[in-house]
Amino acid sequence: MIGIADVEAAARRIAGSVVRTPALACEAISRASGASVTLKLETFQATGSFKERGAANKLALLSPAERAAGVVAMSAGNHAQAVARHARLAGISATIVMPRYTPLTKVSRTAAWGARIDLHGETLVESASHAALLAEREGLVMVHPYDDPAVMAGQGTLALELLNDTPDLDVLVIPVGGGGMIAGSAVAAAALKPGIEIIGVEVEAYAALAQRLAGRPVAVGGATIAEGIAVRDIGDLPFSIIRAHVAEVLVVPEQAIEQAIALLVEGAKVVAEGAGAAGVAALLAFPERFKGKKVGVPICGANIDPRILANVLLRNLLRDGRLLRISLEIPDRPGVLADIATRIAAHDGNVIEVSHQRLFAAPSVQSAHLEVMVEARDPAHAEEITAALATGYVLKRI
When pLDDT is cut at 50, 70 and 90, the band that residue 360 belongs to is: low
> Hey, what domains does the chain have and what are their CATH numbers?
4-50+148-314 (3.40.50.1100), 53-142 (3.40.50.1100), 321-397 (3.30.70.260)
Q: Please give the Cα distance from 358 to 336 (Å, whole number).
A: 13
Q: Please give the Cα distance from 323 to 319 (Å, whole number).
A: 8
Please give the order of strands across the beta sheet that includes 171-175.
Answer: 23-25, 36-41, 294-299, 171-175, 197-203, 248-252
| Model pLDDT, residue 18 | 98
Looking at the predicted structure, is the pLDDT value of residue 364 above 80? no
| Model pLDDT, residue 125 | 81
Q: What is the pTM of this model?
A: 0.91
| Model pLDDT, residue 164 | 97
Q: Please give the Cα distance from 294 to 2 (Å, whole number).
A: 27
DSSP string over 19-71: ----EEE-HHHHHHHSSEEEEEEGGGSTTSBTHHHHHHHHHHT--HHHHHH-E
Cα dihedral 151→153→159→161 (10° resolution): -100
Using alpha carbons only, give the angle 274, 103, 40 rounded to the nearest 5 degrees: 30
Helix (H) or strand (E) holding 369: strand 367-375
Beta bridge partners of 23: 40
Looking at the predicted structure, is the pLDDT value of residue 235 above 70? yes
- Specify the pairing of strand 367-375 against strand 116-119: unpaired
pLDDT in tens, 129-175: 999 999 999 999 999 999 999 999 999 999 999 999 999 999 999 99
Q: Please give the Cα distance from 287 to 31 (Å, whole number).
A: 10
| Model pLDDT, residue 141 | 98
Within 13 A of 90's CA, how many CA atoms are on the CB side?
31
Mean pLDDT in residue range 94-107: 88
Alpha helices in 246-378 (DSSP H): 254-263, 278-285, 287-290, 306-320, 336-346
| Model pLDDT, residue 234 | 94
| Model pLDDT, residue 365 | 61
